[in-house]
Amino acid sequence: MELNLSTLAKHFSDEEAAWELVEHLRWPMGPVCPHCGDTGRAYFLSPKNGYRTTSTGRVSYRRVWKCKACRKQFSVLVGTIFERSQVPLSKWLLALHMMSANKNGVAANELRRTIGVTQPTAWFMLHRLREAMRLSSLHSMRGTIVADETFWGGKAKFMHADKRATAPAKVPVLALINADTGEVRTQAVANVDGTTLAKVISEQVDVGSSILWTDEGTQYIQLGKQFLAHETVSHAQGVYVNKHGAGTNRAEGFFGQLRRSVDGTHHHISREHLHRYLGEFAFRYSTCKISDTERLERIIAQAEGRRLTYRRVTAA
């Protein structure tokens, strides 16, 4: 089923329908116990009075299952970014749709107005969703790798005179894009010298099986010797694609989209949370060829095992 505003409308207003949809998306082959991993042997616990209530007497639409193997109870939210959230699942679904369908991201105030929650709640929800959007780095990138860096932060000349002297230095951000698959990985780094970039790139890339494309920066010279081949372009000479078709345009395009999205949607992001926004936009770039439905399904699939507490976010 294609998931868009039209098909999801029912689930936005019907909490029970929202639970059933999330169960279908997370467990397409049937319930999986988050405690022991047993599949297909859990059974649904029907409420005795037709509905459940919370300790305060409010009606709860929480759907509870019990595993025959370990005898423990669970719901579809256990072990995910949604666990222990007080926000109705129907509102989470709308936030999920907005994040998966909006190319430029979603601001906390926009989400607050749309689903009717407070600004801190909307802000925390979006950070939870960004945690689910973070791409796994369990496997190394392999193929033709485009590497480039940019510097994130405001220019001192645009700041108030009182803040110029204490303005923090810009944060270097490295982007690695697989030209064959379209996957992008980004990371804020301490600096852009050869030693630092070599360490970060070697952790993310199967160097011995890949080709490296960069600009003429000297920090890539020694690292490039470890790759199968190292192609460069000289921007200083006005060359952006060399005779072999190599260039850094993909990375520069990613950085351009990132800046436009942040400027237009968020206006400003703090250094403490920069890594979460980088992960969000890396996910969007890497999944730009798939549909909004597939992107939403992937976010829900990646939500497992990534529970994020408010204390962790505010302590960043």
**Whether the Cβ atoms of residue 284 and residue 104 lie closer than 8 Å to each other:** no
CA dihedral 235, 237, 242, 247 (to 10 degrees): 0
Alpha helical stretches, state H, 27-177:
89-101, 108-115, 119-133, 161-164
pLDDT digits (tens, 9 = 90+) for 122-148: 999 999 999 999 988 779 999 999 999
Domain edges within the chain? 144-268
Comparing CA positions, the residue from 141, 143, 150, 145 lying closest to residue 213 is 145
* Domain 144-268, CATH: 3.30.420.10
d(CA 188, CA 281) in angstroms, rounded, equals 14
Is 39 strand, coil or helix? Answer: strand
Is 141 strand, coil or helix? Answer: strand
pLDDT digits (tens, 9 = 90+) for 217-260: 999 999 999 999 999 999 989 888 999 999 999 999 999 999 99
d(CA 22, CA 93) in angstroms, rounded, equals 8
Residue 43 to residues 12, 18, 51, 62, Cα–Cα distance (Å): 26, 19, 17, 14
Average per-residue pLDDT in the chain? Answer: 92
pLDDT digits (tens, 9 = 90+) for 147-205: 999 999 866 666 666 666 656 678 999 999 999 999 999 999 999 999 999 999 999 99
Give mean pLDDT, residues 23-29.
94
